[in-house]
Structure 1
Amino acid sequence: MDTLCSYPQDLTFTPQLPYAFYSCAFTNEYYTDSQFTTHKIDFPAKLNNAVTKRKAEFLAGRICAKHALQRINIEGVQILSGEDRAPIWPEGVKGSITHTQGIAIAMCARDTELKGLGIDVERFMGDEQEQKLQKQILHPEENSTFSSLSLTIANPLTLIFSAKESIYKALYSSVGKFFGFDAVKLINFTSNKLNFVIVEQLSTQLPVGKQITVRYQLSKHLVFTECEYK
């Protein structure tokens, strides 16, 4: 697999948000450092001592970002990483990159359209892992809504985890600092949306009580979430 990436066969959904999007599948065993050159992506010095898995994830994510940017007519831009490891998008663009176990996705848009964008893809956790992680991921006051959600889907905690990851990515550039999963709580949901409310003052523009919507889709093995902040 010289090109590293191929179409991900189990990614059976398409984005609900109307922004540029690209996805690929990748396999660590086919990775070589030379593929950075093949795809015209700079090899960052911080990856010099990284394991193959980390290098392959980074490259696959940047391949997706490159193609997503091309879809909004931006060519030849290298997506570097900041000290916080967040991707540095070109001026005038908001974007997000995600990957999990051989799947990478990127989405971007001109920032005249929005203030922040976050996406996340996850493979479903096992039932035992979901039980162990509930207290780390759930806000104490969202247990009731979470219980209702668990009656409608098989892996509710994986979905909540992914949704909160997307929220974090969408809001981070506006907040400018780390915030935890308990900064927001689930208040209601539909078959394709989760509605959260901010319960911790994040910024003057993101006060307690502001609501945030996350769109979600489920496939056989994956959950995909999208969050926009306008």
Structure 2
Amino acid sequence: MDYLKHHFWLAIINIHFFIIYGLIIYKMWLKTANFFQSQLGFPFYSTHFNVDHFELKNFTKIGIIFPDKLNNAVVKRQAEYLAGRVCAKNVLSTIGIKNFQVISGEDRAPIWPAKVCGSITHTQSIAAAIVSSNPDIVGLGIDIECSMKENQEKCLQSHILAHDEKNSFSKLSKLYSNPLTIIFSAKESIYKALYPTVRKFFDFNAVTLIELDDKKLIFIINKPLAVKIPQGTLITVYYQRCNNFVFTECFFT
């Protein structure tokens, strides 16, 4: 009898050990982050993740469907995708939508619940998601970027800046050491916010930075992108910097 009791309690201890060990590894991989807070006033959620502690079984643990398109992806891409979907799952729960699977469409854009718009972003070790069920909001865009190195910013200026954007770029460069990263991130956010209306690719030359201060950037649409987005449309992008990261966000009505 004592022999059976010994093995019973030994089994219980082993089970507890593996549960606790699993929780420790999980927390080492993913935890809530407070690097940035949204200035838009919509539900927002962000996480910090560590690729070194990522495991494929985390998809099952969290209840996120592993997409076939990631079968051949590198571990970093798999971890980023899951971290982004964790953010989407958590932020949707704040508006009463539980366990919704945010999958990607053929155009790679996230598919949100009916009457909800949102945006997901991730870079290196940070992921975030934002949503809105306000019927007046038809597009949301957020983006997190790791600041480019000085030589990268010089090499990529001609690819990111519109032809008549040099003056605004010069003003921004007097405020921050990585101005191109901020503009690049802002244009990524604009693309995400406008894509649900435009439904086709448009490049960085489609928008030009015309005004700025230490919290926001104002862009103008250079050409008609859709019936509801004529030339001359203004988009305000809010931005923040923390450590080596840049966060931008905007919405479209």
TM-score (norm 1): 0.97
- For 1:71 and 1:105, the matched residues in 2 are separated by 14
Deviation at 1:111, TM superposition (A): 4.2
- For 2:136 and 2:58, the matched residues in 1 are separated by 34
Deviation at 1:189, TM superposition (A): 0.4
Which amino acid is 1:40 matched to? G
- For 1:5 and 1:90, the matched residues in 2 are separated by 25
1:8 matched to 2:33? The reply is yes
Structure with the larger helix share:
2
Deviation at 1:125, TM superposition (A): 0.5
The equivalent residue for 1:50 is: 73
Deviates more, 1:103-112 or 1:134-143: 103-112
The equivalent residue for 1:156 is: 179
Deviates more, 1:57-66 or 1:45-54: 45-54
> Please, which of 25, 40, 43 is the counterpart of residue 17 of structure 1?
40
Structure with the larger strand share:
1
Deviation at 1:30, TM superposition (A): 1.0
- For 2:91 and 2:188, the matched residues in 1 are separated by 20
The equivalent residue for 2:149 is: 126
Deviation at 1:7, TM superposition (A): 3.0
- For 1:151 and 1:50, the matched residues in 2 are separated by 40
Runs of 4+ deviating beyond 2 Å: none
The equivalent residue for 1:172 is: 195
Which amino acid is 2:30 matched to? C
Deviation at 1:210, TM superposition (A): 0.8
- For 1:45 and 1:153, the matched residues in 2 are separated by 41
Within 5 Å, give how 1:112-123 maps onto structure 2.
112-123=135-146
Spell out, residue by residue over 1:189-208, the C-alpha distance to the aligned partner (whole angstroms, 9 max, x if none).
Answer: 01101000000210111011
> Please, which of 25, 33, 36 is the counterpart of residue 56 of structure 2?
33
CA RMSD of aligned residues (A): 1.0
The equivalent residue for 2:86 is: 63
Bigger RCO of structures 1 and 2 (CA < 8 A, at least 6 apart): 1
Which amino acid is 2:126 matched to? I
1:195 matched to 2:218? The reply is yes
Task: Flag structure 1 segments of 5+ consecutive residues without an equivalent.
Answer: none
1:229 matched to 2:252? The reply is yes
- For 1:148 and 1:50, the matched residues in 2 are separated by 40
- For 1:115 and 1:143, the matched residues in 2 are separated by 31
Give the secondary-structure state (helix, strand or coil) at the position aligned to 1:208: coil
- For 2:208 and 2:228, the matched residues in 1 are separated by 18
Task: Flag structure 2 segments of 5+ consecutive residues without an equivalent.
Answer: 1-24
- For 1:192 and 1:50, the matched residues in 2 are separated by 36
- For 1:39 and 1:153, the matched residues in 2 are separated by 39
Which amino acid is 1:19 matched to? F
Which amino acid is 1:197 matched to? I
Spell out, residue by residue over 1:27-68, the C-alpha distance to the aligned partner (whole angstroms, 9 max, x if none).
Answer: 111111110011011111111111111110000000000000
- For 1:102 and 1:219, the matched residues in 2 are separated by 13
Which amino acid is 1:24 matched to? T
Matched residues, percent identical?
50
